[in-house]
Amino acid sequence: MIDFEVPKPIAQQRVALQTVAENMMRPVSRYFDEHEHEVPWDYINFMNMAMRAMGAGYLAPREEKKNGDKPKEKRPPIGYQSLAFMLESLSWGDVGLYLVTPGGGLGAAAVEATGTPEQKKKFLARFSEDKPTFGAMAMTEPQAGSDTSAIRTTAVLDRQNNEWILNGEKIFVTGGHKSLELSDGLVVVWATIDPSAGRAGMRPFVVEAGTPGVKVTKMEHKLGIRASDTVSIVLQDARLPFENILGSPEVEAKTTRGFKGAMATFDATRPLVAATGIGVARATLELLKELLEQQGVHIRYGLPRQKLTSIEKDFIDMEVMLHSAWLLVIKAVWMADNRKHNPLEASMSKVRAGDVVTKITQKAVEIMGPLGYSRDHLLEKWFRDAKITDIYEGTGQINRLIVARNILDYSGRELR
């Protein structure tokens, strides 16, 4: 059963993270929004040390260590719950800066979801080193957005040299520049080993920084999350060791094991993306309340709805939306920690958070009028940052389809 009391380790971590968000992220939030592609090394280096001191990581929770011959009493796992609270707090500070926090990110999550124990040990070790290291995942292509079965990036096995040769182009890769060019990181690239097999031929490959034939070709200029890099990557005869394929290299008829590996990655990370949206929404409501109070408008809780002003009704409705979305996130990450199948809950949390943060930031700008639209405050920036929550790691439309399929017990072919 879910316990809604915040675990003590997470509560302590939140205090530290909120301090970082308030004192290190907020003061430079506007600067890095206006200086897109400038790397915030002060923040990166500080967070690299701070997260190691806090013991915060980007991977699933590890088993309890033994104390001599007597094992410690096992506590409920809180790895993904801890990450959700961490990401919410850092996104309250600045969601673009959060996205440049050192760590494995989606790349590590993909390795964790699809790799063997040996592969996890090998590829994830780099994120335990002292220097800042980044990971990313590359799936989207110019002709393959939400329809992952249309992926054309190929991986051909060179049996003589026991290497995979990858060719193709990936676009909209979050953190690809930092992972491949600014650190000894990695990108998990999804490619097909058999184009005729559709999703059954999809496989993830670990592409490490410095791999010949891999090049970042474009850095996007974006509406929001401008402190984070989003890039295109071209793979031209990129050779990878045979063991860099995650999962089986065999294509089995009527099997979508590779595709299911991608979905397992998203089941773990979609609630975390939702948590980032919750952080932006919370920041918006807190500032909106402060600005309203400066103008003599106070929210009178406890009164009958018909006695409230229009602004009071709107504000209370937004608070309800925010808390309901956060509860969905908590449920989804609790299930992930307890190894419970959570595709329905993961997509529900992502859909709700994407809707909520978009509506709250838009309404805040509307309520404040010219002040909300101006650059005097961060409301307009948060409005721009909000929309990405509804787009990356599965659009709102795709996640609604996943929710419907799970509730109605339909397959992807039956409900499109």
179 to each of 271, 290, 408, how far by Cα in Å? 23, 39, 40
312, 345, 380, 393: the catalytic one is 393
Bridge partners, residue 265, by sequence: none
- Catalytic, 393? Answer yes
d(CA 4, CA 331): 9
* Angstrom distance (rounded) from CA 232 to CA 175: 10
Please give the backbone phi and psi of residue 25, each rounded to the nearest 5 degrees, phi first: -100, -50
CA–CA dist 171, 344 (Å, integer): 27
DSSP, collapsed to helix, strand or coil, labels residue 66 as strand
d(CA 139, CA 258): 12
Lookup result for tokens 């998990």: 188
- As a whole number of angstroms, the distance between CA 209 and CA 215 comes to 10
β-pairing, 66-67 with 230-241? unpaired
What's the CA gap between 251 and 271, in Å, rounded? 31
Q: Give φ, ψ of 115 to 5 degrees.
A: -85, 160
- Torsion angle defined by CA atoms of residues 194, 198, 199 and 202, in that order, rounded to the nearest 10 degrees: 20
Look at strands 230-241 and 214-219 and give their pairing: antiparallel
Q: Is the dihedral of CA 177, 181, 183, 184 positive or negative?
A: positive
CA-closest candidate to residue 188, choices 150, 131, 134:
134
Q: Which residues are part of the catalytic machinery?
A: 393
